[in-house]
Chains A and B, each alone.
Chain A
């Protein structure tokens, strides 16, 4: 248990569906992240939020829409996905955002949502 939870753990959806992934962190951290992990590819950063403000959007297609209503919760809204979007979606959080200071920027990951788009 890292203190970061994600629901659902598994999701199967059609290309016309709309669904949302939820992430909650119980660590009192200020920054939260969405990552995509596809088979045989490095982890790819999708979005970064700091104190509920989006600070990075890594050229992610608009069919992925993040929402951060407060510093403990992060959502990823999905609509009209493609089969190539099938992957493990990981949420992470960290105390600080700036890497290279105290180690407080260490990111802790949730268990992930395994998404299959048919």
Chain B
């Protein structure tokens, strides 16, 4: 079945760039998402990318998609302490409402 994998932890220094990686198995995935979860809160959509795109930039966020390798990454430029959170990758196919989430990557930003 479909699977989405992420590394569990990432630690970076304030001001550095963070890169969070995700791999997925469903080749029919049409939409790929990045969500952010702060402590005690629900998930907040950060950005998304369609499977026919290679890259999407949105202010400090850059999403790269390698469809051949089924690899998705989220780069956060100039990482701030407020970026400390859990980041989830998710995918869904066209015509389906079912989202498959990764395990989440806990980003810790050191001052």
| Chains A and B come from one and the same complex | no
A residues with CB within 8 A of B: none
